[in-house]
Amino acid sequence: MRLVDSQQMQIMDRYTIDEVGIPGLVLMENAARSWFAAAIPYLTKAQHIYVLCGSGNNGGDGYAIARILVNHGYDCSVIAVKKPKSQDCRMNAKIWSHFGETLSWSEMTTQISLRKGTFSWIDAILGTGISTPIQGELRERMDTINQLPGSKIGVDVPSGINSSTGDIMGVALQMDATITFQKEKVGHHLYPGKQYSGIVICRQISILEYFPKMAQEFHLIDEALVEKLLPQRTPTGYKNQFGHLITWGGRAGTMGASWMASYAGLKIGAGLSTAAIPQSEQSVFWQQAPELMTYPQEQITGDWLNHFDALVLGCGLGREENKWAGIQKILHQANLPYVLDADAFYGIQDWKKLSLDQAILTPHPGEFAQISGYPKPRNNEERMEQGLAFVRKYPTTLVLKGAPSLVFSSKGDLYINSTGNVGMATAGSGDVLAGFLGGLLAQGLAPLQAALLGTWLHGKSGDLAKEQAGEAALTATDLIRNLGKVLKGLQPSS
């Protein structure tokens, strides 16, 4: 699903008004009516509704929503958290004055202390354009609103959430649901914005989805997208047609990492999976998974690796310096798509000498700081900027693991994963992801396709494991175990 940031939404809005010719007030009316239709399940006529309005166009939406609520028999008041300033906001505030009351902040606090029962709150204070931290009186008022009882429903984005990054701009309002317009925003899907948005509902309001050539596109990795990427299996297919994956990793004490990556690759559909592991550790695999093959690392050359369809390098490998030259040699000689994970990142000396167009890199935050030289990001904005800067310098497919995981294409487009949970922050989870990605590469998917599909399946298997056992008890092997159920529930696109 295509997402937009604040700038892209503003371009679409202005194009619709200036070029298409739909006045801003008409769009505002469309927004209010669409918002009301979507919000009906969250509203009750037994509760008094307070619409919190700001000074800009988001506030204008709020005044129009209040009028529609009153017209449909709801008990409603407007609180002017900030005085109307934009032209369309002033116009809708003027129209509202003929339909109902507008309370000042002090009048509202007095009224709720006297009213009995519960309330509903509609947040129309700040919209998508916020870019600086909220301070002073507005911050104090928003802190107070967060403490008030009753359900809260947002208009477009929760006030205080940066719609381009999901970061909190000083303070933000916690919503039970947020009804947004035309396109969901990047900030709805990045924490903490994802948490503050609650349930996100998107409604069309006749804004033309105009996308001039952008420096960066934003997408959500959702079920509709991944169903288009599932590898097709013909009735007459045989194992060699489904690809042969080789994983290179493992050492005494960390063989589990190599085993999980190898078995995950087989489980996601690779026809064959071989683990290149130390000669001394061969028996570990035979005991755990008879379907897997092994080969001694000591006997492998880069040319020999070209007999395989994809490589996963790094899981449980270790960071001893005597392995680094071997890693470089393998990557220079091998001509096949590959996944770099974990310890492999510590052996790369010169990224420019690698065939990164065939690669998927899967670092966690500490590993990304190691390979990029960037400091650990303090917020989503820095995380997104660093990922984009890296793929522009080294065009490749980059999976930045986290909550949520971000996938950057070699062109710089950003894909936000919609699956996964904190229970997946457990030993071996990254090894399973690497194996999933390698298994998809072995089946012939391009690196970006494999990264999108594999990352989503990884998170979805974790979500299923969470439903079964909770977050604390979730382990990496649960992800492998649940993959089949996830795959079975998908409908491949023909």
**Binding site listing for AMP:** 401-405, 430
Other C-beta atoms closer than 10 Å to the C-beta of 253 total 10
| Residue written as token pair 């494999």 | 450
Q: Are strands 2-3 and 218-221 parallel, antiparallel or unpaired?
A: antiparallel
To the nearest 10 degrees (0 to 180), the angle between helices 447-469 and 476-488 is 110
Greatest pairwise CA separation for the chain in angstroms: 85
Q: 121, exposed or middle or buried, with CB in 10 Å at 0-12, 13-18, 19+?
A: buried
List, in sequence order, the alpha helices (H) in 334-374.
Answer: 365-372
Other C-beta atoms closer than 10 Å to the C-beta of 39 total 22
**What is the phi/psi pair of residue 415, to 5°?**
-120, 125
Which residues contribute to the annotated binding site for (6S)-NADPHX? Answer: 57-61, 127-133, 156, 257, 316, 364, 431
| Residue written as token pair 């409603």 | 76
Which residues contribute to the annotated binding site for K(+)? Answer: 58, 123, 159
Q: Are strands 119-124 and 48-53 parallel, antiparallel or unpaired?
A: parallel
Q: How many residues in total does the chain contain?
A: 494
Bridge partner residues of 153 (DSSP) = 122, 177
In whole angstroms, give the CA distance from residue 383 to residue 74: 44
In our burial notation (b when 16+ CB lie closer than 10 A, e otherwise), range 278-289 reads: beebeebbeeeb
In whole angstroms, give the CA distance from residue 317 to residue 249: 4
Q: What is the DSSP letter of 244?
A: E
Which residues contribute to the annotated binding site? Answer: 57-61, 123, 127-133, 156, 159, 257, 316, 364, 401-405, 430-431
| Residue written as token pair 């026809």 | 271
